[in-house]
Structure 1
């Protein structure tokens, strides 16, 4: 909904005393959308020097009012940039907590870190929700370039079929996929997911030869291999085979 129409929604609620349902019928939108606008009316009107009599902003265009919180907003933004640069998880409640701390340091007792303020702050700086994936943020680009050159020296003299790369990962062997089939309209709520896991090592050569995955554990004979003779298993034989190759 356009900015001027949002102000018109607030006007019909404040001056015309219309209910959210009647306003939604007037504009042909859902009531939930109208409720959302009315909940944020203070924030929306703060962005306008609005003239209700002429039904438009006083200078004919959108203006941002100075709310007195500019110093707090600036400090929070600088803190946010620093936190994300250090790969720190940042949430909405954490931003509000830091804003209140800055307001206390500046002696601004009237500041309230409301949800409306947080929404406005996020919108102003184009902050959206995301998911951290992998650990590549801790890897230096310089270190990567150094290893690319060192790798040629380390692998010198070995045939590609004798050069292996191995890494470990977690295997949640009792977990299931989040996707499922359901009857349309029925609730699709999940239950508690299993946290049982094994740490496994995966290894493959430069030419694509894949080794049997190895289970990494502290026990000489883990309970999961209760009825297995480790000395005659493929895992034991694969380990002996790997000892004859170069692992990078």
Structure 2
């Protein structure tokens, strides 16, 4: 409809074409420049909000949501953790920056409430997740750059798969009790116990062909435990 009005059409033409009253066409002609600017902004910053809400607050929130979504994606690529208060704080920062850039003298209030955060996560498909393993801390770029160097070393030394070993460490809470148990049917719940945090580090080593597994060495918390403080080192049993 705006394109038809901008082409210089008479009032009766868009009235019959779009089946709208004459007052609407005259209002569009009067505010066509402001409406065109709003449409350009909405088309640039994609959002699920409807174009019927062309208020100043909605326009500022659409731009804020666009920059905030880009920031969340960048933090995810940089393997940085995020929480709800951080996203809400950053939304207020972006909102203030957008207000200053648009030269809004009396901007509408915006405090990035919990309700707004829930709507933002739903619109941008952002969800809460737990970390699994240590894959996020791995330097993938450096590992890919090392592949040609590793292949050159293997080729230069004429190593076979039986001579190439890989080791990986892991922690074992060897005194941790099970999290589940069996109780009588008439009991409501099982009484909780304090979980022990005694931990040892075990190193697993194997070759590339998989036919040779080394005995895993154990690294304890101390080289000489307090219980064996007065014992001679040769008298201690080797694990």
Report the TM-score, using the length of structure 1 for normalisation. Answer: 0.55
Supply the distance in 1 between the matched residues of 2:192 and 2:81 (Cα, whole angstroms).
25
Q: What is the RMSD computed on CA atoms of the aligned residues?
A: 3.6
Match of 1:200 in 2: 202
| Residues 104 and 190 of structure 1, relative CA distance in 2, 3 Å threshold | farther
After superposition, the C-alpha distances for 1:57-93 in whole angstroms (9 at most, x for unaligned) are: xxxxx94645522232223212212211111111122
| Residues 97 and 190 of structure 1, relative CA distance in 2, 3 Å threshold | farther
SS in 2 for 1:166: strand
| Residues 229 and 159 of structure 1, relative CA distance in 2, 3 Å threshold | farther
Match of 1:113 in 2: 112
Match of 1:14 in 2: none
| Residues 200 and 223 of structure 1, relative CA distance in 2, 3 Å threshold | farther
Match of 2:94 in 1: 102
Match of 2:188 in 1: 186
Deviation at 1:169, TM superposition (A): 1.8
Deviation at 1:124, TM superposition (A): 0.5
- 2:65 matches 1:73: yes
SS in 1 for 2:79: coil
- 2:168 matches 1:167: yes
After superposition, the C-alpha distances for 1:137-180 in whole angstroms (9 at most, x for unaligned) are: 34454533443343344443445444322222222222234344
Query: Which entry has the higher C-alpha Rg, 1 or 2?
Result: 2
Aligned residue pairs: how many? 174
SS in 1 for 2:213: coil
What is the correspondence of 1:1-248 to structure 2 with a 5 Å cutoff? 63=50, 65-66=53-54, 67-68=57-58, 69-105=61-97, 106=99, 108=107, 110-155=109-154, 156-182=157-183, 186-187=188-189, 192-206=194-208, 207-216=210-219, 219-223=222-226, 233=237, 235=239
Deviation at 1:231, TM superposition (A): 7.2
Supply the distance in 2 between the matched residues of 1:82 and 1:96 (Cα, whole angstroms).
16
> Gaps spanning 5+ residues in structure 2: where?
1-48, 101-106
> Is contact 1:204-1:210 (8 Å) kept?
yes
Supply the distance in 2 between the matched residues of 1:114 and 1:126 (Cα, whole angstroms).
18
SS in 2 for 1:168: strand
> Gaps spanning 5+ residues in structure 1: where?
1-61, 236-248
> Is contact 2:199-2:220 (8 Å) kept?
no
